[in-house]
Amino acid sequence: MTWAIGDIQGCFDNFMELLKKIEFNPSKDELWLVGDLVNRGKGSLEVLKYVYEHKNSIKVVLGNHDISLIAAYYGIKKSNPTIEPILQYKDAKKLINWLRTLPFLHIDYTLGYAMAHAGVAPNMELGAAKFYNDILQSHLRGEDAKEWLKAVMSKDSDYFNPKGGIIEQERYLLGVFTRMRYCYKNGHLDFKQKGSPDNLKRDDLYPWFDCPQKIEKELKIVFGHWSTLGFLDREDILALDSGCLWGRELTAYNLENKNRVSVKCEGIPIK
């Protein structure tokens, strides 16, 4: 069986409960994790250790919180109490270096799905997305990873400017894969709005998957990142962030038989 699971964000106990409920067996099953393994939940280190231990049975794409963890390891961003145990862990370097090898996009033509933490740019073909993923991966894996992260995380780029510099373009690509939610009619991204499309009182913004500039993808896109959107299963997309961290649910979806399984989560207090 192949199961895809939404944002865990350090909610280790709920993750274990869900794996037990779906009877996950790493010797014969496969997990797809949409990213944001860590941050805010109290078991971020435990989540990383489990996924690393079973990495041969788990496909992971990087989310914005995973990138922030790598940046904190390099001293680019501040730490916080939920990721500090990772940074102080005796094998922190091993875990961080493993995270650095992970992709931003995973594609499986046999199953008919592609996975990215926030999604795939509406005006980007899947082949182009794979090409750009490989570029970002080469930087994150390379010796210049710290300097590259510092440059691309210094500010936002909301559209791909063919005449812009390489760093500006890569800022946009990183934002697409890890932070995208809404876009304008012309395809430019808006990184400020985080609420549900049902409650958005604006007519100039569209969920990225409903953007007028959208190019139809040949595969269904699996993503997380958008807890206020929640679970959404359509012909073209599968949204899996059902708000575990915020006291709602952690969701698993069987990519073969379309079965959905969830567990209730305690979450953390909303400030």
What is residue 266's predicted lDDT score, i.e. its pLDDT?
A: 84
Rounded mean pLDDT of 239-257? 96
The CATH number of domain 2-264, selected from 3.30.360.10, 3.30.590.10, 3.60.21.10, 3.40.50.10170: 3.60.21.10
Q: Give a three-class secondary structure readout of 234-270.
A: CCCEEECCCCHHHCCEEEEEECCCCCEEEEECCCCCC
Q: Is the pLDDT of residue 103 over 60?
A: yes
pLDDT of residue 202: 87
pLDDT at 126: 97
Average pLDDT along the chain? 96
Give the mean model confidence (pLDDT) for residues 122-150.
Answer: 97
pLDDT, one tens digit per residue, over 210-241 is 999 899 999 999 999 999 999 999 999 999 99
How sure is the predictor about 54, in pLDDT bands with cuts at 50, 70 and 90?
A: very high
> According to the model, what pLDDT value does residue 268 have?
74
Q: Report the largest interatomic distance among the alpha carbons of the chain, rounded to a whole angstrom.
A: 51
In the numeric block, which tokens belong to residue 76?
């680019």
pLDDT bin (cut points 50, 70, 90) of residue 267 is confident
Specify the pLDDT at position 271: 44
Query: What is the enclosing helix (H) or strand (E) of 31?
Result: strand 30-33
pLDDT over 90, % of the chain: 94
* 3-class secondary structure, 128: helix
Evaluate whether 40 touches 68 at the Cβ level (below 8 Å): no
pLDDT tens per residue, range 23-38: 999 999 999 999 999 9
> What pLDDT was estimated at residue 75?
97
Model confidence at 269, pLDDT cuts 50, 70, 90, reads low
Task: Please say if the pLDDT value at position 12 is more than 90.
Answer: yes
Mean pLDDT value of segment 121-132: 96
CA-nearest of 59, 1, 68, 67 to 34 is 59
- The share of the chain scoring above pLDDT 70, in percent, equals 99
